[in-house]
């Protein structure tokens, strides 16, 4: 696997890999692991937004809906130009989930010297996601995503993905940037397939 990671590092440079998936598909788990393996920095739009909500005392995402695009641009896009990220590759978790945001995301990433090189989708069915949702309520292991215990909010997040994020993924697929990974495996198996597919992309 190390040879594949070296190939990905050389190809990626200071660029970005943007990982998407349904709620509970493992985006952050796989993103953090990939960032550590590549010596990259990890950025999650969800973590940034929740931190900004706490700072501004605004609750824009608590209902399960995506935050307004103009607020997303204001809060998230400046991260691409942060001096503490300069010179590092980035692994992103769902940066730009609303169709129409992807061009601004790609432009901001390129302007910050972190051009997006690949977009990953962790494929998992909604039925499997709901099973994970039920397990998570029992385990109480969602940390800052405690709103996921509310089934109505969680189902709203699934609807938002279908209506707003699937068109984003189609756009990236049309650009030849989309890398599809089977998310319905063990964490180690998902990571192995992710590295394999990105290594193929790097070739």
Contact 35, 110 (CB under 8 A): no
Using the predicted structure, report yes or no on whether residue 144 has a pLDDT greater than 60: no
Residue 143 reports pLDDT greater than 60: no
Express each pLDDT in 86-98 by its tens digit.
999 999 999 999 9
Q: What is residue 116's predicted lDDT score, i.e. its pLDDT? A: 98
Architecture of domain 2-202: 3-Layer(aba) Sandwich (3.40)
Mean of pLDDT over the chain: 91
Q: Is it the case that residue 152 has pLDDT exceeding 90?
A: no
- Domain positions in the chain are 2-202
The Cα 187–Cα 171 span in angstroms is 27
Q: What are 35-79's pLDDT values in tens digits?
A: 999 999 999 998 899 899 999 998 888 888 899 999 999 999 999
By percentage, how much of the chain surpasses pLDDT 90?
75
Residue 22 has pLDDT above 60, yes or no: yes
Give the DSSP letter string of 5-41: HHHHHHHHTT-EEEEEESTTSSHHHHHHHHHHHHT-E
When comparing pLDDT for 23 and 90, which is higher?
90
Answer whether residue 133 shows pLDDT above 90: no
């Amino acid at each position: 696997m190390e040879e594949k990671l070296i190939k990905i590092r050389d190809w990626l440079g200071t660029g970005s890999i943007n990982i998407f998936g349904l709620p509970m598909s493992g985006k952050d788990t796989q993103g953090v692991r990939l960032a550590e393996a590549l010596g990259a920095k990890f950025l999650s739009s969800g973590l940034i937004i929740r931190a900004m909500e706490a700072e501004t005392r605004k609750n824009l995402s608590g209902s399960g809906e995506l935050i307004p695009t103009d607020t997303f641009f204001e809060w998230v896009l400046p991260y691409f130009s942060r001096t503490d990220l300069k010179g590092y590759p980035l692994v992103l978790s769902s940066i730009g989930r609303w169709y129409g945001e992807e061009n601004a995301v790609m432009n901001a990433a390129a302007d910050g010297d972190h051009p997006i090189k690949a977009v990953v989708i962790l494929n998992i069915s909604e039925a499997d996601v709901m099973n994970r949702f039920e397990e998570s309520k029992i385990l109480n292991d969602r940390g800052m995503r405690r709103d996921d215990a509310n089934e109505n909010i969680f189902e709203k997040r699934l609807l938002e993905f279908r209506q707003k994020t699937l068109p984003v993924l189609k756009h990236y697929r049309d650009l030849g940037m989309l890398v599809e990974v089977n998310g319905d495996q063990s964490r180690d198996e998902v990571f192995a397939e992710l590295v394999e597919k990105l290594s193929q992309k790097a070739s």
